[in-house]
């Protein structure tokens, strides 16, 4: 992944030094297991544990000759160990090492992503609490519908992020599996006890059955989970972008004093972080698709998946780490405009209360169709002519015959739309997690 979207902690996981270190851990653990079974002399194991080291430049040199990075890695280990090095990689196939090491790397990456998700969850729940009663217009199809609150919007995303935490925990478990079963998974040159020992030592589950590779449905679950999380971030970013439009301006990305929104127009304050997140979410989805394509391999294995995974797994985890950190910072510093929310509520001259008026007319004995048509008639006049909706209703004798003026006025009170939000928070388990400020 390019430096622009790479944060140090996650990038370190995918550095070649860390990758080969994990491979070394697998190799040494396998030697320990073989020694316990009497397959490797104790002297050789001592030499392996004491002298096992690798050099990235040397591996690159050997790789140019072998055209096989694992073979180059093993050869470099043997060079450094000397006598006893012949027992390194005994009975193993490349994917015993690389797939098990990859599981360790993905597990580490998952832990960082889970930390990121929890940080974003905290930022969202704080906003949900602070703005629980901040009334704004709810929109369907981009058109004014009925009042809602900004806090409820944030609570919705808080819940979705928490579902993504559950998904990532499940994906982490799915991928935390090792495989040390030989060339086609039959333990032909290894004892099953070796796999058991290696996986237990590395805190992985052992694959119940494998062929030459761990099955790629595991990796696809991990990458598609990342893509789903990216989809949630894109949805949240799209919401903020919509609210930042000049004619709406109910929420806005923080804009620093030294920041420039446009190289040409000094007045511009653009939702660039949100737009970046929306763009990067497309990459995560594409990588998720590639992971699904990797599931089908020929017979006991081929390597059509390998070149793809060298790109999509590091890139997706690095990108998601960046996106989650960016979104958390964005939410923490999001600028909210309650006065604009109030102004926008009043834009349609009371039309947003039409459903409540209709329901009250039905309660007074009108049929639903009659009540709907009566209310719609005045709503359309308000749409076309801009006349006050409440005044039109009060002037209609057919309505006031069954509906007293003070009862009509009560339909236009915002408190009515706030009355159940506390219950929503309680039902969603948010009541104790939010502090109303």
Active-site annotation, residues: 141, 262
DSSP for 199-267, written as a single string? HHHTT-EEPSS-SSS--THHHHHHHHHHHHHHHHHHHHHHHHHHHHSTTT-SEE----TT--S-SS-TT
CA distance 243 to 240: 5
CA distance 298 to 181: 18
Cα-based torsion angle of the residue sequence 329, 130, 257, 255 in order, rounded to the nearest 10 degrees:
60
Q: From residue 430, how far is each of 127, 209, 331, 435 by CA, in Å?
A: 12, 43, 18, 10
CA distance 27 to 32: 9
Q: Which of 188, 171, 180 is nearest to 223 (CA)?
A: 171
CA distance 264 to 266: 7
- β-pairing, 205-206 vs 177-178, is parallel
């Amino acid at each position: 992944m390019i430096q622009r979207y790479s944060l140090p902690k996650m990038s370190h996981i995918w550095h070649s030094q860390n990758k080969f270190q994990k491979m070394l851990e697998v190799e040494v653990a396998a030697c320990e297991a073989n020694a316990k079974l009497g397959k490797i002399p104790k002297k050789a194991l001592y030499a392996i544990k004491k002298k096992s080291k690798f050099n990235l430049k040397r591996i690159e040199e050997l790789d140019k000759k072998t055209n096989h990075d694992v073979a180059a890695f093993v050869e470099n280990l043997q060079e450094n160990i000397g006598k006893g090095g012949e027992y390194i990689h005994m009975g193993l196939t490349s994917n015993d090492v690389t797939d098990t090491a990859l599981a360790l790397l993905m597990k580490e990456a998952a832990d960082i992503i889970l930390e990121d998700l929890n940080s974003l969850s905290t930022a969202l729940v704080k906003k949900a609490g602070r703005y629980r009663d901040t009334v704004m217009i709810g929109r369907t199809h981009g058109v004014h519908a009925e009042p809602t609150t900004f806090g409820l919007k944030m609570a919705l995303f808080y819940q979705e992020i928490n579902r993504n935490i559950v998904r990532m925990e499940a994906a982490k478990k799915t991928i935390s599996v090792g495989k040390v079963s030989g060339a086609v998974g039959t333990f032909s040159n290894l004892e099953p006890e070796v796999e058991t020992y290696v996986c237990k030592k590395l805190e992985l589950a052992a694959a119940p059955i494998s062929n030459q590779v761990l099955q790629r449905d595991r990796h696809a679950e991990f990458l598609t989970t990342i893509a789903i999380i990216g989809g949630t971030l894109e949805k949240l970013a799209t919401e903020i972008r919509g609210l930042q439009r000049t004619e709406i301006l109910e929420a806005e990305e923080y804009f620093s004093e030294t920041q420039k929104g446009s190289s040409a127009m000094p007045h511009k304050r653009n939702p660039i972080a949100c737009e970046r997140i929306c763009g990067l979410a497309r990459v995560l989805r594409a990588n998720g698709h590639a992971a699904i394509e990797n599931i089908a391999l020929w017979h006991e294995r081929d390597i059509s998946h390998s070149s793809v995974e060298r790109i999509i797994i590091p890139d997706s985890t690095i990108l998601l780490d960046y996106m989650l950190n960016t979104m958390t910072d964005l939410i923490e510093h999001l600028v909210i405009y309650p006065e604009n929310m109030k102004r926008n509520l009043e834009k349609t001259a009371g039309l947003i209360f039409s459903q409540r008026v209709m329901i009250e007319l039905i309660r007074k004995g009108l049929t639903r169709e009659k009540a709907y048509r009566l209310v719609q008639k005045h709503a359309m006049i308000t749409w076309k002519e801009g006349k006050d909706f409440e005044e039109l209703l009060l002037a209609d004798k057919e309505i006031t015959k069954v509906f007293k003026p003070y009862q009509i006025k009560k339909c236009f009170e915002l408190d009515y739309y706030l009355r159940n939000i506390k219950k929503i928070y309680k039902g969603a388990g948010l009541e104790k997690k939010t502090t109303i400020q």
